[in-house]
Structure 1
Amino acid sequence: MKTKFLLLPILSFVTLLFISCSNDDDPITISEYTDATTFFNELNYSGSVLISKNGNDILRTGFGIANKTTVDPNAISTQFRIGSVSKTLTGMGIVQLKRDGLINSYDQPLSDFDDSFPHGNQITLRHLLSHQSGLPDYVPMVEPNAKSGQSFTPETILEIVKNQVSENGLNFEPGSSVAYSNTNFLILALLIEELSGNSYENYITENVLEPLNMTETEMGNDEISGENYAQGYNGNENVSEYPMQIAFGAGCWTSSVTDLEKWCRAAMGDNWFSPDEKQAIFGEDVPEETTAFELAWFRSKIDGKTFLWHGGDIDGFASLIGFVPESNSVLITLSNEQDDSGTTRNAIIETIVKNEL
């Protein structure tokens, strides 16, 4: 699972290309835009793509190969690891806890639920949901050893984080800055289990997947097998094997374009979220060509359009889901090619939102 880190004053906004982008990577350049199919072909894209506007499909197809051994092609029904797009499902779990009366407010401090958490009286659920907690990212602490065979449960990872914060403090005062940290959503997933008395997987399944008939979405396994699943690649190397338990709550789900369309349309529509919930989750308008962290979603303004979205990276996979409410548009891309710098996803966002949505 890729680690992304960003630190800046909370009152400033993030330019669109902040996700996974480094100063050493040049943006992707293509010929003059003609149509979506040509664009993805020029990217040599490998994955599944859905672009829809006002209920009409612009593109709904697969590109490239799902499995280079069997040479099975990617298709709309192919299932991919979705990495941090999983955070939108975890965020929905917290919304459901509030609906169930198991939390009172997104501004409740973490100490209400774990009085032993260091600085827990300063960190609220809102801070966790919007990456304003100041908590360090656990991934670099555990991923190398996990890939070498050491076992880590989510509870073990939580204790590692608590020890780290006890010894070194927070990276910044909660609410004063933003920094993308997978730790926030691992804690939220554990909170779902603690408060609901159910497993995180079952709670999300019962409260999100089943109501939306998302039958192609499930927790990912360490090894990928089956003809309906894409293998993940970094160049020509199959890098699919991954210790998925360390991605708990932050990047642990597998899904398809078809299922994620259902999730996007529910989030965009008028029946799934109440007006007050939408206001809390998706936030206020942002200036042109900027992006803000909201509650488990990003909000961007691109060419005058509001784009609500999330991206995800995990070894061998790169994902993007998003929608433009004003035009009833949905954009979903699931790739089984690693996108370390995020330049491919950034090119997709800028090009497709401007030209098609």
Structure 2
Amino acid sequence: MKKLILTISGMALFIIMVTLVINLNGQNKSVRLKAETNKNISNKKSTNNNSMLEKKLKGTNFSGSVIIVKNGKTIDSYTRGEKNRNTHANNTDSTSFEINSLQKSLTAGLVMEQVKKGKIKLTDKVSKFFPELPGSKEIMIRNLLDMTSGLSMKSLKLTGDSISSKALLNVITHKVIFNPEKLGAWNYQPVNFVILAEIVEKVTGQKYEKLFKDTYINRLGLNETEMAYRDYKSTKKASGYIVRNEDGNLKYSLQTPNGATIFSELGTGQVYMSVTDFYKALSVLLDGKLLNEKNKSELFKSNVENKARYYSGLYTSKNNTYKYANGYGSGFENHVRISLDGKTAVVMFSNNRYVKNDGLAKKFNEIADEFLK
């Protein structure tokens, strides 16, 4: 009996020691990843008198932040304008902006984390997780990532301060339309990524917010990132404005969507980040530090190409030298262009969205062309 007790005790001690080693291993990897990611990346305003960004943007009505990273190091940055027109508080190096559709690539990263763990396959049919969704027996996870699912849904107009993931899924189930003839054809529909976020929640048993925090905020040491629906009274968050030019006079309209509407953008446009934080998060997906090389390649390059060359939240340039994405909503405008290895990038966030004016997008492309063509 004593021998049995000693054997059981020894086994228990062994299991505890193995668990501790695994946990320490995970913590050490997280610390190393955080250190590597933060080493050369800074959003401090450039003191370089020859700053290209300052020359390009100083004479414009630009309000926001821009960062240029080359070979993994910040080489230029610029911040301008007011983050709140009522208090006249200015945008600063650490101001965070609603990133809108740029969030999709980070949601794709969360999906691939579960693929790595064996909880999801890119070839899995949606019916495995939510059989009640229209077309679920035919649509694969890969279709959702590439927006080739044949699904479409009009923007939701919700009321109230919040909505649960379960209630949101129920709304989508009744409103989304599946067209089997469009399965495999590219069609930009944000609902694809809402469904992906719901699937990730289901297979992990955790909320999207926690997964996002654990994967990006905590592991990378992001201090200027938060969910849009959380009222932290953060002084870092910018307010978004729709800007109209009325006979030469600019009219600014503050955007204040309700909580339920913000939450309905689950996985597809409900995060605030600084330009630097966003670069850090996206770069580790592309350089293989968060995902291994195989998973990274699988995620951002589909076996079946689509006309838009859109895979997992990012478009691929025609010459296959860089990836890019744009975001618009709630008075914000966002642009990113990044090399395939994540080491060179231009990121621009603005808290002014001009109506019927693509001047900012053109200016961004002009700047980005200097580094990535």
Common topology (TM > 0.5): yes
Tell me the distance in 2 between the aligned counterparts of 1:78 and 1:334: 10
Instruction: Indicate which of 319, 323, 327 corresponds to 1:312.
Output: 327
User: Are the equivalent residues in 2 in contact too, given 1:311–1:321 (CA < 8 A)?
Assistant: yes
Tell me the distance in 2 between the aligned counterparts of 1:74 and 1:102: 41
Tell me the distance in 1 between the aligned counterparts of 2:165 and 2:234: 27
1:160 counterpart residue number: 171
For structure 1, the residue ranges without an aligned partner over 5 or more in a row are 1-33
2:208 counterpart residue number: 200
Tell me the distance in 1 between the aligned counterparts of 2:344 and 2:112: 24
Tell me the distance in 2 between the aligned counterparts of 1:119 and 1:234: 37
SS of 1:95's equivalent in the other structure is: helix
**After superposition, where does 1:17-32 map in structure 2 within 5 Å?**
none
Give, in angstroms, the shift of residue 43 of structure 1: 4.0
1:134 counterpart residue number: 150
Over 3 Å counting, the alpha-carbon distance change for 1:316 and 1:292 in structure 2 is: same
1:177 counterpart residue number: 185
Range that drifts further, 110-119 or 323-332: 323-332
* TM-score between the two structures when normalised by the length of structure 2: 0.75
Give, in angstroms, the shift of residue 206 of structure 1: 1.1
Over 3 Å counting, the alpha-carbon distance change for 1:106 and 1:284 in structure 2 is: closer
CA-to-aligned-CA distance 1:209-250 (integer Å, 9 cap, x gap): 211112321111276844211111112121144431121111
2:87 counterpart residue number: 70
* TM-score between the two structures when normalised by the length of structure 1: 0.78
2:78 counterpart residue number: 61
2:345 counterpart residue number: 330
Q: Which letter maps to 1:208?
A: Y
1:263 counterpart residue number: 281
2:369 counterpart residue number: 354
Tell me the distance in 1 between the aligned counterparts of 2:91 and 2:195: 34
Report the count of equivalent residues.
311
SS of 1:210's equivalent in the other structure is: helix
For structure 2, the residue ranges without an aligned partner over 5 or more in a row are 1-50, 244-251
Q: Which letter maps to 1:281?
A: L
Q: Which letter maps to 1:258?
A: T
Instruction: Indicate which of 89, 99, 110 corresponds to 2:126.
Output: 110
Give, in angstroms, the shift of residue 99 of structure 1: 1.4
User: Are the equivalent residues in 2 in contact too, given 1:127–1:174 (CA < 8 A)?
Assistant: no
User: Are the equivalent residues in 1 in contact too, given 2:53–2:78 (CA < 8 A)?
Assistant: no
Q: Which letter maps to 2:301?
A: G
CA RMSD of aligned residues (A): 2.8
Give, in angstroms, the shift of residue 56 of structure 1: 4.5
Identity %: 25
Give, in angstroms, the shift of residue 349 of structure 1: 4.5
Give, in angstroms, the shift of residue 49 of structure 1: 0.5
Range that drifts further, 195-204 or 333-342: 333-342
